[in-house]
Amino acid sequence: MSLGVFVSDYKLSSDTLERLDPGKTGVILVLNGVWHALLKESGKASSLLDRFSKVYALSEDIETRGMLPAQVDGRVKVVNYDGLVDVVFNEFEKIAWL
């Protein structure tokens, strides 16, 4: 996949992510971005998970917030820092932080 985008916020202040081609873009949830993988606001999972087929979340940032990787939406692959390095080098041609 071409571009791996780090998402570090839950409520995005930018609409850039919505404009990126989901066919070429994957998402890496870190810091408060991990809430996308965990919450079901009004019973509904984050629309980001519907839009992008390749989504990763950082286990350390999940656990820092008192949550468990087991609570993560099944569409999200949980990785630790070590695994995240491999994701960055092996799963995407380029990366960006929104």
Partner 1 sequence: MGAITMGVYPGLVGSASYDFAIKFAGAAAKKGHKVSMWFSGNATGSVKAHQKHLKDYSTGEKYLTELLAAGVEVCTCEACTVARGVQKTESIEKIQWNAMHWYLARIHSADRVLLIGGE
Partner 2 sequence: MGDVKCAFIVQKPQYKGETSRLAMTHALAYQTVEILLEDGDTVTPSLCFVGEGVLGITKGQKAMDIYGITSSESHLKNCLLVDLDVYVCKEDLDKFGISVDQLPDAEEMGAEKTINVVPFSEIAKKMDEAKHVLFF
Q: Please select the residue that binds partner 2; options are 53, 68, 80, 97, rule is CB under 8 A.
A: 97
Q: Which two tokens stand for residue 44?
A: 């509904």
Q: Which two tokens stand for residue 9?
A: 């916020």
Q: Could you tell me which stretch among 11-19, 42-50, 51-59, 76-84 binds partner 2 (CB under 8 A)?
A: 11-19
Q: Which of residues 56-85 bind partner 1 (CB under 8 A)?
A: 60-61, 81-82, 84-85
Nearest alpha carbon to residue 36 among 15, 14, 63, 9:
9
**Are the C-beta atoms of residues 58 and 84 closer than 8 Å to each other?**
yes
Which residues form the interface with partner 1 (CB under 8 A)? 6, 8, 30-31, 60-61, 81-82, 84-86, 88-89, 94-97
